[in-house]
Amino acid sequence: MSDLLERLRGRGWRMTAQRRVVAEVLDGEHVHLTADEVHARAVVKLPEISRATVYNTLGELVSLGEVLEVTTDKRAKRYDPNAHRPHHHLICAGCGAIRDVHPSGNPLADLPDSERFGFTVSNVEVTYRGLCPHCAAA
């Protein structure tokens, strides 16, 4: 993701201060931030950036395949900068902590043709749920 700005420029993106700052926030920590969390961090570097622009930019990054959306519940969507290494997620039901995980095996191969109903299946998301060590102790 470090050369994200180069790739985006190469795709004809007009480079603006706002887009640069959003990209920097995502590049900074490999965590799963909500749009408002991204906005809060962006405001530190560019105080006048608006929520709408953060939403717009995140949406574009998702369309370009540079960032993944993670929808784990009915609260805010989260944005995952780790789009280039396939992985799944492990979520604590107590505190909401999210960890990247890399299971062995390929769930796509586990779906037989007879269970595909003629669909063109292109993608699979696996979400493990449980309790983190801290929440399990409580």
Partner DNA sequence: ATCCCATATTGGATAGCGTCTAAGCCGAGT
Partner DNA sequence: ACTCGGCTTAGACGCTATCCAATATGGGAT
Which residues here bind a second copy, judged by CB under 8 A? Answer: 71-74, 77, 90, 92-93, 99, 101-105, 107-108, 110-112, 115-133, 136
Helices 51-63 and 17-28 cross at an angle (nearest 10°) of 70
The piece of 16-24, 52-60, 94-102, 108-116 that touches Zn ion (CB under 5 A) is 94-102
| Cα separation, 68 vs 109, whole angstroms | 22
Element (H, E) at 78: strand 78-80
Torsion of CA 38, 93, 87, 105, to 10 degrees: -170
Q: Which entry of DNA, Zn ion, a second copy, none binds 59, CB below 5 to 8 A by partner kind?
A: DNA
Contact between 90 and Zn ion (CB under 5 A)? no
Minimum CB–partner distance for residue 71 and Mn ion (Å): 12
Question: What are the two backbone dihedrals, phi and then psi, of residue 123, each rounded to the nearest 5 degrees?
Answer: -155, 150
CB of 46 to a second copy, least distance (A): 26
- Binding positions for DNA, rule: CB under 7 A: 9, 13-19, 34-36, 46, 48-53, 55-57, 59, 74-77
